[in-house]
Amino acid sequence: MIFVYILLFAVSLLFYIQYEGAFSFYLFCFVASYPIIFGSLMLYVKIKLKVSFERREQSVPKASGCAVNIIIDNPTLIPIPNCDIVIKYKTEFSDKAEKLTIHTPVFPHNSQILTVKFAYNHYGMLSLELAKVKIFDMLRIIRVRVKGNKGGVLRNTRLVVFPGYIPLESAIKDYSDLGLESENYSKSKKGDDPSEIFNIREYSEGDKISRIHWKLSAKQSELIVKDYSLPITNAVLLVPDLSHIEDNDTLLFRFDAVIDAISAISMRLAENEVTHTLLFPSDDPDGFRKYIIGDIESYSFAMKSLITSCFGSRIRSSCQLISEITQGAPKYAHLILCTTSLNDDERSQLVDSQYAYRYTAIVASDETGPGYTEDQFEYLPLPAGSIQETLDYIAI
């Protein structure tokens, strides 16, 4: 647009030379002083203007798309007719950053929120950066870049694409008769485990004499009894395997199916207050991450950790991890593996580990068969588009 200004300047100068008078003089002065006047205004706005993301991190359900809010704060009385905001964004499955340019006016003495939507159809994490912010005058002749090194300016953020709710009606088995050890106890119900005390209260008719707390009763004017704790059997182990994922559309959709399956089963258990464990490989010092899930809050925390660290969890097979950490005795009643591929070696590593009493391998693939059951191992293909129907088939 600088050429447009040069043309205007030349025309106003010729007009002033050819036609003497106040109008031609004022017109030439206005055109000549335009860069000085509006350049000074743009520099002043540059100092005051702040453009930042609203939050450092945001979780968005996959079905709703990816949306992020940008706050544009202009405390001056000078309107900006043209503002260009360049956003760089990339996923953890790609090293190539994409760019998105937004054109918007900026109102004077106003703090406005601009909602930007991104088309990303897979689970994972989007990293976003405010790469450039430029403001222009009304003719787009003067261009000033707004720097981001200001107090209160958030130049980077990330969007965590989170699973939506998939309602299941899968049967939940009772594994209490297997005698699995438990280190967790109910916070709301009492039981018969004398190793932990749930509550201390006054004696009431019908209480067992063996539960009287004699030392404490001796210090009180009445009998005090102990209520024992109820062990929570942590019988189900959920294990996602992302080691076969590559950066192509076909396998990324299978990756989504793995996350859908894990989250749907975990939500089904959490809704029924069934304590279970999520285990997956990671680049942590221990080589894995383990989360005990007993309610919706712990479910959300564990799923977010899985999604934000899923790139690091592709470093090795989960079956190999299970074979390495096993202690030679079943620790879980049911191990559910969700993966995109399962070969014979991985199946052997899983079953030979003796980490559980039964194993279910849910494999996201193009297969449409019913699967098979062999001894304590069950193979279940998970075709795209039929996640709910397939998972309703299994007994957790």
Residues 221 and 241 in one domain: no
For residue range 144-201, list pLDDT tens digits in order: 888 876 666 788 888 888 887 888 888 888 776 665 555 555 555 555 555 566 566 7
What mean pLDDT comes out for the span 376-392?
Answer: 84
In a shared domain, residues 208 and 276: no
- Please name the residues in contact with 147: beta carbons below 8 A apart, sequence gap of 6 or more: 46
Highest mean pLDDT among 160-169, 188-197, 317-326, 336-345: 336-345
Query: What proportion of the chain, given as a percentage, has pLDDT over 90?
Result: 10
**Which residues does 336 contact at the CB level (< 8 Å), separation at least 6?**
236, 237, 238, 239, 265, 359, 360, 362, 394, 396
In a domain, 294, yes or no: yes
304 and 360 co-located in one domain: yes
Residue 266: its pLDDT value, please?
A: 92
Are residues 82 and 158 both part of a single domain?
Answer: yes
In a domain, 121, yes or no: yes
Highest mean pLDDT (candidates 28-32, 244-248, 273-277): 273-277
Final residue in a domain of this structure, among 177, 210, 231 = 231
Torsion angle, alpha carbons of 341, 342, 343, 346, to 10: 130
What confidence score (pLDDT) does residue 98 get?
83
Would residue 244 count as lying in a domain? Answer: yes
Q: Which residues pair with 70 in a beta bridge?
A: 53, 114
Query: Hey, what are 120's tokens?
Result: 């990303």
Cα separation, 214 vs 391, in Å, equals: 52
Show the domain range for 222. 185-231
CATH number at residue 81: 2.60.40.2030
Residues in the chain: 396
Residue 212 has pLDDT above 60, yes or no: yes
92 and 220: one domain?
no
* Domain end among 162, 193, 210: 162
Residue 66's contacts (CB-CB under 8 Å, 6 or more residues apart) are 60, 117, 118, 119, 120, 126, 159, 161
Question: Number of structural domains, the chain?
Answer: 4
In a domain, residue 38? The reply is: no
The better pLDDT of the pair 259, 185 is held by 259
pLDDT of residue 252: 74
Predicted confidence at residue 248, as pLDDT, reads 58
Chain centroid to CA 150: how far? 28
Look at residue 86 in the predicted model and tell me its pLDDT. Answer: 92
- For the whole prediction, is pTM greater than 0.75? no
Question: Considering 194, 216, 231, which residue would you say is the last residue of a domain?
Answer: 231
Is 355 found in the same domain as 217? no
Give the residue with greater pLDDT, 312 vs 386. 386
How confident is the model over 72-122, as pLDDT tens digits? 999 999 999 899 999 988 877 667 788 889 899 999 998 999 888 877 777
